[in-house]
Chain A
Amino acid sequence: MIVSYDLLVNALIAGVLLGGFYVAVTVGISIAFGILDIVNIAHVAFIILGAYIAYIVNLHFGLDPILVGIVTLPAFYALGAVVYQIYYLSFERRGQEALRGLAFFFGLLFITEVGLILVFGVDYRYVSAIYVGPSLRLGIADFPLRMVVPCVAALVMFGVLQLFLSRTFTGRAIMAVSQDPLALRLMAVDPIRIKRIAFGISVATAGIAGALLIVIQPVEPSVGREFIGRVFAIAVLGGLGSLPGTVVGAMLLGIMESLTATFYGPSWAPAVAFGFLLLTLAFRPQGILGR
């Protein structure tokens, strides 16, 4: 088989751009699941909620969807803090988080989804922004702006988070909290407060990721389910607890999906991606950059 050079280059570019978007979708799971040990299945529902908020504000006020995502950050942070507080009081404090906590987040997922269906129906919705249509062409390479802008936004968000986690006292406490909560208390830090902050941040990233999602593709309420498997796969592939690992995992998955979709057809993409995940875990159970 002769592989067209043009096709290969463009598939790679598309993969990297898609991977960048996956960073935004997964980084919150990386914090909640990878660092805090909270299996937040509902993360994708918060992403779809973010997408719909971006949609509705964009429709009525013509505001840029990504700007809407940034403006609503505090609201999503507060939502996350409240959800964690409920989760903590109802399950974690009693040591029942394993199964009942999972059921709690499943419930949140369905309630959010059904709520969105009741309000908006099941039609696909999309946003308008100047970068949704056009493409940048450099030689043979094609850069669709509706992919480039979310990718850049996602990487900026990742950079800010990484700096926060590695350079601030609160950030370091977030990295430490699930390893030994009592030891953290002996450092005069309240582990519950730290988890609440971290979970708030995690959900805040979902708001942004939702705005990016609706820039990339039209959205309907149950589209989030496509991402549940993917986000957990990326977090595990990159290495739980490692934010840079999440970027590596997201990029790898994006590139693999794009190459497979281009050369063998889109239906093979998930099979190849998850096959790669299984292989990685067989040889490196802690993930690519896992500690």
Chain B
Amino acid sequence: MASSLTITNLHAAYGSVRVLEDVSLRVGAGETVALLGTNGNGKSTLMKCIMGILRPRTGSIVVEIDGDRHELIGRSTEEIVDLGIALVPEGRRLFPKLSVEENLMLGASRRTARAQMGRNYDFCCATFPVLAERRRQLAGSLSGGEQQMLALARALMLAPRILLVDEPSVGLSPLLVSRTIDTIKLLKEQYQLTVLMSEQNFTQAIRIADRGYVIVHGQIAYEGRSAAEMNDNELIRKFYLGI
């Protein structure tokens, strides 16, 4: 049951531009960890490194799934997903010209997920009634909030053990942000997932996170060991709450 993610001394760059410097971060089994930071501080880059989309310079990214340890660096994205790690990418990246249902089915492409497809599909329909209603509609014709729901549901169809969510609140109204964050919590509890969520919206993210990290200019500037501790932190007050 235990699925954890440990990142140690990670360095990454785009060409000569260094984006991540000596990032170490841990998401324990069953935890929800928030990765906080404003635009351009390296949150998405870290997600890309975990998923094998960008190859880091040095460091290690290790996941432990059901007692098996896997080093992720050097593996292809497909292999990493196949281990049971799903990413809800920034900008959602749905297949706009496919129907809602086809998008969901594509989520269940990996072998382990196919076996559970029926059950997961029913769960998605029950959790997101609006998606069930619009299952024949093209994904590109959904509203922003519905698209975010579909992106989450599609990741769930992968039957993941570790869920990465990159900036779920981007482009959503405050009410929808709050609903999306609640949904992530619900999914996490239902499926006993381990969650790493990157967010700019501190107040919303910290509502469901067990603890968090603040990333500034590609470095972990602060590690909060509990939600309460993060609420009281100087740096966070300065950066986010403007106090």
Contact = CB atoms under 8 A, between A and B. Distances in A.
A276 to B, nearest CB: 25
Given A169-B109, A179-B98, 5 more contacts: A169-B105, A182-B53, A188-B82, A188-B110, A188-B158
A195 to B, nearest CB: 14
A183 B95 contact: yes
Interface residues of B, number: 27
A189 B80 CA distance: 11
B110 A187 contact: yes
A173 B51 CA distance: 20
Taking residues whose C-beta sits less than 8 angstroms from the other chain, chain A's interface range is 10 to 19
B98 A185 contact: no
B210 interface: no
B98 A186 contact: no
B170 interface: no
A105 B27 CA distance: 50
Contacts of A291: 97, 138
Interface string A86-114: 00000000000000000000000000000
Interface string A180-223: 10111111111000000000000000000000000000000000
A179 B76 CA distance: 20
A272 interface: no
Interface stretch (B6-14, B29-37, B85-93, B226-234): B85-93
B94 interface: yes
B122 interface: no
Contacts of A188: 78, 81-82, 109-110, 158
Contacts, number: 68
A176 B78 contact: no
B114 interface: yes
Given A182-B53, A182-B93, A291-B138, A187 B107 contact: yes
Nearest to B108: A169
A291 B98 CA distance: 9
A187 B156 CA distance: 11
Nearest to A179: B95
A47 interface: no
A185 B77 contact: yes
A186 B95 contact: no
A175 interface: yes
A241 B95 CA distance: 13
A172 B102 contact: yes
